[in-house]
Structure 1
């Protein structure tokens, strides 16, 4: 499960960076790399990023149910 969490987190980060580029510069990096927004490979990346965001809800809910997000562990 750790591997899939890392992969999905990486894809969520890619999606976030892509949206940041779209918002700041009107530049869609995924579309530029894979042949436009309508290209099959770009659409696959978009779907994987969306599915990864949904998957990341699982670790988020686990962290919230422990009353402490994972990023805060060990800090005082």
Structure 2
């Protein structure tokens, strides 16, 4: 079973993926658009959380799924 932290990490990675999609397709940084700029503290916090979530999620690749009986 996935923990709430696992779910939060995946949610943050989805936010990051959608942001990169909008940058790639439209040249628009959604996170920077919300917080004002790439250098804004809010943007830097979101980018950092997405990065931490990505690093944490590496562990999801190596976890064994529970066996249901």
TM-score by length of 1: 0.79
Q: Which runs of 5+ in 2 are unaligned?
A: none
Q: Give the number of the structure with larger relative contact order, counting CA–CA contacts within 8 Å between residues 6 or more apart.
A: 2
1:7 offset after TM fit, Å?
Answer: 0.5
* CA offsets 1:16-65 (integer angstroms, 9 cap, x no match): 000000000000000000111000010000000000000000111225xx
Aligned equivalents of 2:26, 2:12: Cα separation in 1: 21
Within the alignment, does 1:52 sit opposite 2:53 as a pair? yes
**How many positions carry a matched residue from both structures?**
64
Moved over 2 A (4+): none
Is 1:34–2:35 an aligned residue pair? yes
Aligned-partner SS, 1:36: coil
